[in-house]
Chain A
Amino acid sequence: MRVCHLSLTDFRSYPSAEIALEPGVTAFVGPNGHGKTNLVEAIGYVATQSSHRVATDAPLVRHGAERAIVRALVARDERRALVELEINPGRANRARVNRSPVARPREALGLLRTVLFAPEDLALVKGDPSERRRFLDDLLVARAPRFAGVRADYDRVLKQRNTLLRTAAATKGRRRGPRRQDDEAAFSSAGAGDVLSTLDVWDSHLVRHGAELLAARLDLVEALRPLTAKAYATLAPASAAADLEYRTGVKLSTDCGRSRDILEEALRASLAEARQAELERGVTLVGPHRDDLHLALGELPARGYASHGESWSFALALRLAAYDLLRADGGDPVLILDDVFAELDGQRRTRLAEIVAPAEQVLITAAVPDDVPAELAGARFDVTEGSATRVR
């Protein structure tokens, strides 16, 4: 799979840009702050409909413009697809595939698959559990776009249920002390008696969507485990072995299977157990939204114990494992290496270069040409002051 052409309108620093891309390696070289990352960010956005740098869409639109448009012509074997995304901050985004509008932008997911390496990846190892949950969920969506819907449904049920629990907590709190202002309205209109009667209903929906997400994440982690260990051993042969474990607050007995039915039952039981505490705190305390992907080096957790170099290797190993997995599904994903070589020592740099060199398309950004390893020589664009020029 590869991107043949990228075209931008009012995306980040670019009023407009047209960039033709070829298979193999392409490097974007230029000083920091001149717009290299914006180009690969746009390609990543076509694949995931989210940015690896910011959580909301607003910064993606050029200052003063109303909307941004990203177009990518994607080739997979002999088939070509033109994906067009219109980014409208504060309103619904729109998408077209081969010039035909699709009902929901998420229907355009899956046409382009990318694996993006960036300095931000260090947060996979050093950051909060939410970073690792996002890594897993994004990979689920890349493998099966249907999960974008599952995740959205789960988040919506969670939001409804948390609001209900807050209302219940406020009802209780009234006896003890003053309530918060925003709960006041919800309380007076929802009526105190309703709270518990509808909680069971939201539980059943939370269990259904939550178990689906949980089952998929558990399967995914099992598939990633050996691939991550292998990639880590290649990047850092001297270090202790890397291992992954999905840690969930849902009580799973070890001997039984991991089918949806069993997980639904387990999640239901865990919710029942947590109910008293949830009613007191006004928030949902168990479910996939509280889980974590635990990373270990030998016996020790990577977070807090791994050195800077080890953390980097682990983050890269996770991305490489994701790449292996997507490749095994069919269709070599586009590899994007955003400013990562500058962060790596000579040995890791060479190893990473060797691993990624055979990919169908590799896009690299670097501040200076020397940051691009010799193994990855190929086409080159110079990026200065918001314009990219092919120089090689």
Chain B
Amino acid sequence: MYEGVVQNLIDELGMLPGVGPKSAQRIAFHLLAADPADVKRLAHALLEVKERVRFCRVCGNVAAEEECRICRDQRRDPHVICVVEESKDVVAIEKTREFRGRYHVLGGAISPIDGVGPDDLRIRELMTRLADGQVTELILATDPNLEGEATATYLARLVKPMGLKVTRLASGLPVGGDLEYADEVTLGRAFEGRRLLDV
């Protein structure tokens, strides 16, 4: 144990995801030795992120203003919505530059064990967005694990009466990988989701 303030800092850092007690101690001593201006900038960034960043009124993505950059962008296709679990999934999809529609961030997936039901996710907001009939396709891009699949099934059933096109991201083989190294579940999924080769 260290003197009060140092130990406080280590304890606080240790609560961050992916930071264990050893790393927390290392970061704390790095900060102690660092230039005061650098530390001030870090502290400022931390405070600012809590004060200024909010969640987009429309899609739930992190935003610096009332609406996020993507929702404000008039060039984005308003007819397609891609549903993801977290804001970081938006970033991952944006990096592909494949998708030109809009997003909806749920804020998690249905998981009774964690006490998360549909009312805890931004599903009501999604239904409101779909109500005006402008959206024609809903892409379900929740994680390909049990909870993500369950959430996708739930949403697909919920929007079924609306008659819009509902798609799920394909799961299967990684690009550049070897078939023989794929695990059997992934390979099985890839078989289920095989498609016609158009030549």
Binding site for B on A (CB under 8 A): 103-104, 107, 144-146, 149, 153, 156-157, 159-161, 163-164, 167, 185-186, 189-191, 193-195, 197-198, 200-202, 204-205
Contact = CB atoms under 8 A, between A and B. Distances in A.
Interface in B142-199: 146-147, 149-150, 153-154, 157, 183-185, 188
Interface residues of B, number: 21
Contacts of B118: 194, 197-198
Contacts of A200: 157
B178 to A, nearest CB: 13
Given A160-B113, A201-B110, A153 B153 contact: no
Given A190-B112, A200-B157, A160 B150 contact: yes
Nearest to B188: A146
A186 B150 contact: no
9 contacts: A160-B147, A161-B112, A167-B112, A190-B112, A190-B119, A191-B119, A194-B117, A202-B112, A202-B150
B119 A205 contact: no
Given A104-B183, A191-B120, 12 more contacts: A146-B185, A153-B146, A157-B146, A160-B147, A161-B112, A186-B115, A189-B117, A193-B119, A197-B154, A198-B150, A198-B154, A201-B154
A202 B146 CA distance: 10
B116 interface: yes
Given A149-B185, A201-B110, A189 B115 contact: yes
Interface string B118-142: 1110000000000000000000000
A44 B112 CA distance: 36
Contacts of B150: 160, 198, 201-202, 205
Interface of B: 110-113, 115-120, 146-147, 149-150, 153-154, 157, 183-185, 188
A149 B182 CA distance: 14
A27 to B, nearest CB: 37
A159 B115 CA distance: 13
Given A190-B117, A190-B120, A160 B153 contact: no
Nearest to B121: A194
A206 to B, nearest CB: 10
A185 B115 contact: yes
B134 to A, nearest CB: 26
A159 B110 contact: no
A201 B146 CA distance: 11
A268 B110 CA distance: 21
B153 A201 contact: yes
A347 B60 CA distance: 74
Contacts of A145: 184
